[in-house]
Amino acid sequence: MNITEQDLDYKRIPTHIAIIMDGNGRWAKKRGLPRVMGHRAGIKTVREIIKSCSELNVKILSLFAFSTENWRRPKEEVDALMDLLVLTIENELDELIGNNIIIKTIGDKGGLPKYVQKKVVEAEEKTKKNTGMIVNVALNYGGRKEIVDGVKEICKKVINNEISINDIDEHLFSQMLYTKGLPDPDLLIRPSGELRLSNFLLWQNAYTELWFTPVFWPDFTKEHLISAIKDYQKRDRRFGNV
């Protein structure tokens, strides 16, 4: 059965969709290509999914692009990913600005190479006055690191007498995270057949609906996105209630 946009309930589009963009390497391997070709092919999907989410009136799209653990990969692959990121910003920035997209990043930007930091900051600066969909790119992002950094920040506030221990609650703590000000993801999509979070938005995904597909990220299309949203609309989100 072909799933189309007509099948969606436009009143119940998830506000925030998070995607773990996985499977580029295996996509390339299946074709006898070097892994980096998979990453390149994945950029086309990023373009298509940003466009589709924006058309469907999704407000926030969080994309996991590089994890704190991805530094373990061969230097050659890490370098290629960093170059690809810079190149993509260079190629796409004008169109993103024209499409009213706001680029934000989450993760430890300071740990990225300087030339990457510069481009990323440029993308954030040049899109910050836009009013459309937020594309939140997770770069050098790790959920555990984010939580530990948040704990350090809140400890400093206690030591400096800005807050007392009794002021600390879930809401205040969430303001210490990279995602402060953003609502939690409603729907998390992971392609590539892996059924895990891989350290992505551990705090924020507490009540997120999860959707998995064996399709590799370069083969992921608008139709898969619509299918995920359609499944999401059938779910009963109880949040612990009855």
Active-site residue set? 22, 70
187 counts as binding ligand IPE under rule CB under 6 A? no
Pick one of 45, 68, 179, 192: the residue that binds ligand IPE (CB under 6 A). Answer: 192
Q: Which helix (H) or strand (E) holds 241?
A: none
Sign (positive/negative) of CA torsion 177, 181, 183, 188? negative
Q: What is the CA radius of gyration of the chain?
A: 18
Pick one of 13, 17, 25, 50: the residue that binds ligand IPE (CB under 6 A). Answer: 25
Pick one of 14, 24, 49, 184: the residue that binds ligand IPE (CB under 6 A). Answer: 24
Helical H segments across 133-202, by residue range: 143-159, 170-174
**Comparison of 85 and 154: residue with beta carbon closer to ligand IPE:** 85
Checking DSSP bridges between strand 102-106 and strand 134-141, what pairing results, if any?
A: parallel
Find the shortest distance in angstroms from Cβ 22 to Mg ion.
Answer: 4
184 counts as binding Mg ion under rule CB under 5 A? no
Q: Closest CB to Mg ion belongs to which residue?
A: 22
Contacted by 62, from Mg ion, ligand IPE, none: CB < 5 to 8 Å by type? none
Q: Which of residues 3-32 bind Mg ion (CB under 5 A)?
A: 22
Q: Is 96 exposed, middle or buried (0-12, 13-18, 19+ CB in 10 A)?
A: buried
26 counts as binding ligand IPE under rule CB under 6 A? yes
116 counts as binding ligand IPE under rule CB under 6 A? no
Q: Closest CB to ligand IPE belongs to which residue?
A: 25
Q: In what order do the strands lie in the sheet with 16-20?
A: 102-106, 134-141, 60-67, 16-20, 187-190, 209-212
SS3 content of the chain, % helix, strand, coil (to 5): 50, 15, 35
Residues 63-92: x where in contact with ligand IPE by CB under 6 A, - otherwise, as a string: -xxxx--x----------x-----------
Euclidean distance between CA atoms 169 and 148, whole angstroms: 16
DSSP per-residue codes, 37-57: HHHHHHHHHHHHHHHHHHHTT
Contacted by 66, from ligand IPE, Mg ion, none: CB < 5 to 8 Å by type? ligand IPE
Identify which of 133, 132, 85 has the alpha carbon closest to the alpha carbon of residue 109: 85
Contacted by 18, from ligand IPE, Mg ion, none: CB < 5 to 8 Å by type? none
Binding site for Mg ion (CB under 5 A): 22
Q: Please give the residue ranges that form the binding site for ligand IPE (CB under 6 A).
A: 20-26, 64-67, 70, 81, 192, 194, 196, 198
